[in-house]
């Protein structure tokens, strides 16, 4: 598959994995160095995080529509490598309901399972995909401020309150063209003291041009550095499924 096709699909898939009042105490432009340092310190202590999530996908054309899904996500650092897993459930899912989609990033590979097609799409996070993978993983939990600044042009838009938590609102423009082809920019609301996200918005693009579509994710019930069952995020096919290597 041509890399011009592979890389945007890789970026869009991984980005799946991975919402006050504005503080006037400091000018926005002066806040980022301190926030970056705080994220670096918190990242050094990070071991793992789990969270519930709500994802809202807004489509502008042809008819304005918002699709909502819920699910869970985890990030875990093993040595110098961070792996993640995410599962998305149908609306109003009951306990035990099979997920609609499972995404995992581990062992140098991104795999995405879709229950509707009963297919696994597998992407190597190496070669041309490596910089894209590294950039997108800085948007997850436990990413360092230094890594974020390396992968994105950061604009600090000040502090806000979400669910009683003081968070930093950062707008990020990708430096990686593979990401920029899919997302013109990303806005995140991060609790830098814990290095966890409470909200993120991806502004979708096509060939680098903004489409007006957005993907908004809210993170709640965050459990930091606690033991968990990684098997809950394992890809389990319905019968025999198809694997497509990209």
- The pLDDT, as a whole number, for residue 65 is 87
Does residue 227 surpass a pLDDT of 70? Answer: yes
Confidence of residue 41 (pLDDT cuts 50, 70, 90): very high
Does residue 8 surpass a pLDDT of 60? Answer: no
Residue 228 three-state SS: coil
- Mean pLDDT (the chain) is 84
Please tell me the least confidently modeled range out of 83-87, 165-169, 204-208, 235-239.
204-208
Across 39-68, average pLDDT: 91
- The pLDDT, as a whole number, for residue 152 is 92
- The pLDDT, as a whole number, for residue 4 is 38
Does residue 20 surpass a pLDDT of 60? Answer: no
What is the spatial distance between Cα 220 and Cα 118, in angstroms, rounded to a whole number? 29
- The pLDDT, as a whole number, for residue 26 is 38
Element spanning 10, H or E: helix 3-14
- The pLDDT, as a whole number, for residue 42 is 95
Does residue 196 surpass a pLDDT of 50? Answer: yes
Across 186-204, average pLDDT: 94
Does residue 200 surpass a pLDDT of 90? Answer: yes
pLDDT in tens, 151-179: 999 999 999 999 999 999 999 999 988 88
Q: What is the pTM of this model?
A: 0.82
- The pLDDT, as a whole number, for residue 80 is 81
Answer whether 155's CB lies under 8 Å from 34's CB.
no
Helix/strand/coil (H/E/C) assignment for every residue in 71-123: EEEEEEEECCEEEEEEEEECCCCCCCCCCCEEEEEECCEEEEEECCCCEEEEE
What is the spatial distance between Cα 125 and Cα 185, in angstroms, rounded to a whole number? 22
């Amino acid at each position: 598959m041509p890399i011009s096709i592979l890389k945007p699909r890789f970026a869009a898939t991984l980005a799946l994995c991975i919402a006050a009042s504005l503080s006037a105490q400091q000018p926005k432009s002066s806040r980022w160095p301190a926030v970056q340092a705080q994220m670096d310190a918190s990242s050094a202590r990070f071991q793992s995080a789990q969270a519930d999530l709500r994802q809202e996908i807004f489509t502008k054309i042809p008819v304005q529509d918002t699709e909502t899904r819920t699910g869970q996500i985890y990030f875990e650092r093993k040595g110098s490598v961070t792996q993640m897993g995410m599962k998305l459930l149908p609306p109003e899912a009951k306990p035990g309901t099979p997920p609609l989609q499972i995404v995992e990033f581990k062992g140098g590979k991104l795999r995405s399972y879709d229950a509707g097609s009963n297919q696994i799409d597998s992407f190597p996070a190496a070669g041309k995909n490596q910089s894209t993978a590294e950039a997108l993983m800085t948007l997850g939990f436990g990413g360092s401020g230094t890594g974020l600044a390396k992968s994105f042009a950061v604009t600090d838009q000040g502090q806000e309150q979400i669910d009683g938590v003081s968070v930093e609102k950062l707008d990020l423009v990708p430096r990686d063209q593979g990401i920029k082809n899919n997302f013109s920019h990303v806005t995140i609301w991060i609790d830098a003291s814990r290095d966890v996200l409470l909200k993120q918005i991806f502004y979708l693009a096509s060939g680098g041009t903004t489409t007006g579509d957005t993907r908004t994710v809210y993170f709640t019930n965050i459990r930091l550095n606690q033991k968990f069952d990684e098997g809950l995020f394992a890809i389990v096919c319905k019968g025999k499924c198809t694997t497509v290597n990209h």
